[in-house]
Amino acid sequence: QLQLQESGPGLVKPSETLSLTCSVSGASISNSGHYWGWIRQPPGKGLEWIGSIYYSGTTYYNPSLKSRVTISVDTSKNEFSLNLRSVTATDTAVYYCARPRRWDNAFDIWGQGTMVTVSS
Amino acid sequence: EIVLTQFPGTLSLSPGERATLSCRASQSVSSNLAWYQQKPGQAPRLLIYGASSRATGIPDRFSGSGSGTDFTLTISRLAPEDFAVYYCQQYGSSPWTFGQGTKVEIK
């Protein structure tokens, strides 16, 4: 059964870089034919797609975050990662990794989410 | 960027009643629309994709309809576990965007 698990620091200082990893179990990132994505949700608010990556390294990002975001993949570890630079308090959110369906971008598999707070 | 507007913001209903949730897109997304259910402290769960196809394991009391700019999620008879927040998401044009959510609460 496919499972996604986010990991990383729960507290990041303003102006620093938020780094999270999504570990994939139950399927191989490189053999699945899927993209893999990151989505966030500020406390009490709605969902925002951050970006997605293919096992080959092809990425596409939300333009609102593109200048600060890098998503990468490590097929040897079967995981993909999110780096968000120069964070501010507005980046405080629950961060989810998720997998969209193969033929469209409806996200059918989600990690449990990890709360990241930006504060000094 | 395509903006999705969901209405109403809150729907107060009793178990067994019918729920009708709406999602309107600022421009056409064809049938590239999904619906999710989210309960407190949980990740969203995919209910509907392609505007009207139920995801795996989703009860048939959930149905979706619409195309272009206007979409509806219907829950035919609310079960106690259906009280939650519902989001629509478009994937017709990048960046993928979500609506602000409709909360279905117990009356």
Gap between the Cα atoms of A97 and B12, Å rounded = 31
Tell me the nearest-neighbour CA distance from B102 into chain A, angstroms.
Answer: 10
Q: Are A48 and A62 in contact (CB under 8 A)?
A: yes
Gap between the Cα atoms of A72 and A97, Å rounded = 13
CB atoms within 10 A of CB A42: 14
Tell me the nearest-neighbour CA distance from B105 into chain A, angstroms.
Answer: 16
Give the position of tokens 């406390």.
Answer: A43
Residues of chain B with Cβ-Cβ distance to A112 below 8 Å are 42-43
Q: How many CA atoms lie within 13 A of B61 on its CB side?
A: 13
CA closest to B53 among chain A residues: A106
pLDDT tens-place string over residues B66-103: 999 999 999 999 999 999 999 999 999 999 999 999 99
Residues of chain A with Cβ-Cβ distance to B99 below 8 Å are 46
CB contact under 8 A, B98 and A105: no
Tell me the nearest-neighbour CA distance from B100 into chain A, angstroms.
Answer: 5
Residues of chain B with Cβ-Cβ distance to A62 below 8 Å are 95
Q: Which residues of B3-19 are buried (b: 16+ CB within 10 A; e: fewer)?
A: ebebeeeebebeeeeeb
Q: Which of helix, strand or coil describes residue A21?
A: strand
Per-residue pLDDT, A102: 87
Q: Which among B42, B46, B99 has the least Cβ separation from residue A108?
A: B46
A95 CB burial (10 A radius; 0-12, 13-18, 19+): buried
Stretch 44-103 of chain A: residues touching chain B, C-beta under 8 Å: 46-49, 60-64, 96, 98, 100-101
Gap between the Cα atoms of A107 and B32, Å rounded = 12
Cα A40 to the chain's mean position, in Å?
Answer: 8
Please, what's the largest Cα pairwise distance for chain A? Answer: 42
pLDDT reading at A26 higher than 90: yes
pLDDT reading at A31 higher than 90: no
Gap between the Cα atoms of B85 and A38, Å rounded = 20
Q: Given the DSSP bridges, would you call strands A114-118 and A11-12 parallel, antiparallel or unpaired?
A: parallel
B107 CB burial (10 A radius; 0-12, 13-18, 19+): exposed
CB contact under 8 A, B44 and A47: yes
Provide the token pair at B77.
Answer: 């008879």
Q: Are A22 and A113 in contact (CB under 8 A)?
A: no
Residues of chain A with pLDDT > 90: what percent? 92
Give the position of tokens 């968000």.
Answer: A84
CB contact under 8 A, A64 and B95: yes
pLDDT tens-place string over residues A66-114: 999 999 999 999 999 999 999 999 999 999 999 999 888 999 999 999 9
